[in-house]
Structure 1
Amino acid sequence: MGEHDGVSALSQADSKQFVDRYERKFYYLRLSITDVCNFKCTYCLPDGYHPTGRKNSSFLDQTEIKRIVNAFADCGTTKVRITGGEPTLRKDFTDIVASVADTRGIKKVAMTTNGYRMAKQVDSWKDAGLTNINVSVDSLDPKLFHQITGENKFHDVMNGIERALEIGYEQIKVNVVLLKQYNGNALPSFLHWIKSRPIQLRFIELMQTGEMDSLFQEQHQSGVSIRNHLIANGWLLKVKEANDGPAQVFIHPDYLGEIGLIMPYEKGFCETCNRLRVSATGKLHLCLFGEEGVELRDLLQQDEQEKDLIARIQGALNTKSVSHFLQEGKTGMTPHLASIGG
């Protein structure tokens, strides 16, 4: 099916492809399975996790998760990223990975983690079918890592990354949230680290959410200076795959690792949006910085509801905005990144 063949969004959905009114196609589902996290990152949960009054049992169960993934896979999704909070806090995490990996049409099963359990458990995750891992490491200085995350787990996380590489992961992605006063000048040390390691280091611009206006003003740093440095030093932009995320990825012949830049304040950032989000309680979010979310859980109780589930998702997609409008100072209703899986 061509990009500009004049077929309406709804009829394209009937042809098993989620697509919005701007002809953006959605191959990538970010699925949160918990909003609980055991770290206290400065830019997300500086005061730690606080329950919202519901019990953890209200998070999507394995059957509901399977029905969501089936519906997305039946409409063109090829990549599922399991997120949180910290997804490995769920005791059934490995079973969830296996269920997602067993879904017809899903080619990539990824996760985003703080990495504190990787060293001990990554072998079982790989056996279950986990194909891609993103780990958050905001500093290579153990003291700064502790200061940013609230946890003295730097060496545990680094051991987990090394273990993942040992057992056959061809590449690990490491997420670094740019914080002006913490890691704003750390590019040389990060470049040294990835020179001989197959790590895609992804610098992520700090994004303003409802609970951190002052921190954003103090710590936001654009990725443009990093991009300029890379280009000036022989780094080349890598071609994206259809189900890749929003990072601009740069490669260099002298480096085994890669550098990714995620710059949501840059003009045109949303033009290639290919991902949707489902929260741990079963709400569809069209954008990380969108509004209240669309309830899906009532349509996850029986296999026979998939047609209605798909129709509701596509109906919501027909209202998806052209942009998140972050560049205009709008932050939507997202209180913090852990609330709907980052």
Structure 2
Amino acid sequence: MRDKPVTFGHKGYIGNDVCLPCLERCSVAQQFEDNFHRKFYYLRLSVTDVCNFKCTYCLPDGYKPSGRKNSSFLNLDEIRRVVKAFADCGTSKVRITGGEPSLRKDFTQIIETVAATQGVQKVATTTNGYRMAQNVASWKQAGLTHINVSIDSLDPRMFHQITGENKFHQVMAGIEKAFEVGYEQVKVNVVLMKDLNHQQLPQFLAWIKDKPIQLRFIELMQTGEMDELFQRHHVSGVAIRNQLIADGWILKVRAANDGPAQVFVHPDYQGEIGLIMPYEKHFCESCNRLRISAMGKLHLCLFGEQGLELRDLLQHDNQEAELIARIEQQLQTKKVSHFLHDGNSGMTPHLASIGG
């Protein structure tokens, strides 16, 4: 029981479900929900769109500043306010993304700020891993509970070809360091690309045989700047799923604040396999996540729209009610699907622009 009632919207709560002043049984809190009854427990918070890698499927020519006048990324106070508003409306998981989020000099302080927010149970990040060996211990101490690292090949030469950086061994050292400092599992993201890495499943399976790694194969997604690459390299994850099932892998049940991966386990493997297949029918039915860009815009979908400005409501602590109201109003416009299967890649120029 909390010592004092906490206000969510217009109601106050003592415990998990007792409402003041009438003490009636009711819902835990105001909850972000759209017109299709999807509830949103998961916030993907971008803190920068800058990245130091040049991945072929995202920033093949490297990061280019946007040229925006008076542009700056969300500061710690703005981050604290937006995360608190989401947590007060049911969000229990926050993933800190980029670009490459660890490029922020205050990245550890960002983790501390998010982790200190009441109601947030999971604080995750997605990183290219090049700074992990040096900094992952301090990230864990600051409150980071989960890590995703992007490794698109276990062949150093192919890794270099895909990422544009010869840092394979540094990234692998970072994963080992994460285990040393106490992480029980590390998730590794692999973007599937035909004729590059899509036939490396045997090598990846051998790698996770005795390691607590959740290997996540992600289908290449079409964005505004990547049409030609998508046509050349897209491959469905269905063949991998069929192979896993035939080999005795079993689908795990998803938790409410889990991401979109279909996760498979096998009694002979310490590691797990996750498949993210956005082109599969019904993919969007389980959507539980919203996105905030590094410039403070709300994005209802990775591929949907230009984003709704929230930053004007992140300047003072007394603006939360208005902030929540604006988010709720925008949520009613969220579409039933991303329509990728119809060939609509939306307004997103590349994945780094709003944090993937």
Shorter-chain TM band: over 0.9
5+ residue gaps in structure 2? 1-9, 12-25
Which residue type is aligned with residue 142 of structure 1?
A: P
Q: State the one-letter code of the partner of 2:237.
A: G
- In structure 2, the CA distance between the partners of 1:174 and 1:56, relative to structure 1 (3 Å rule), is farther
Query: Structure 1 residue runs of 4+, over 3 Å off?
Result: 10-15, 54-57
Partner of 2:281: 267
The normalised TM-score by structure 2 is 0.92
Give 2:57's match in structure 1, choosing from 21, 43, 47. 43
Correspondence for 1:29? 43
1:1-342 aligned at under 5 Å gives the runs 15-54=29-68, 58-342=72-356
Q: CA deviation at 1:78?
A: 0.1
Matched residue count: 333
Distance in structure 2 (CA, Å) of the matches to 1:14 and 1:287: 26
Deviation at 1:277, TM superposition (A): 0.2
Percent of aligned pairs sharing the same letter? 74
Tell me, in whole angstroms, the C-alpha distance in 2 between the residues paired with 1:233 and 1:56: 55
CA contact (8 A) 1:13 1:75 kept: no
Measured at CA, do residues 62 and 252 of structure 1 come closer, stay the same or move farther in structure 2, by a change above 3 Å?
Answer: same
Cα deviation for residue 54 of structure 1 reads 3.4
Q: Distance in 2 between matches of 1:181 and 1:114?
A: 22
**CA contact 2:303–2:345 (8 Å) conserved in 1:** yes
CA contact (8 A) 2:81 2:320 kept: yes
Q: Tell me how far apart the structure 2 counterparts of residues 294 and 55 of structure 1 sit (CA, whole Å).
A: 18
SS in 2 for 1:181: coil
- Looking at structure 1, the residues matched to 335 and 87 of structure 2 have their Cα atoms a distance apart, in angstroms, of 23
The structural deviation recorded for 1:14 is: 11
* Superposed CA RMSD: 1.6
Give the secondary structure class of the aligned counterpart of 1:180: coil
Kept in 1: contact 2:29–2:90 (CA 8 A): no
Quick one: distance in 2 between partners of 1:108 and 1:279? Answer: 19
TM-score, normalised relative to structure 1: 0.95
SS at match of 2:324: helix
Contact 2:54-2:62 at 8 Å conserved across structures = yes
What code does the residue aligned with 1:340 have?
A: I
Q: Shift in Å at residue 155 of structure 1?
A: 0.2
Q: Is the 8 A contact 2:194 2:234 kept in 1?
A: yes
Letter in 1 for 2:341: Q
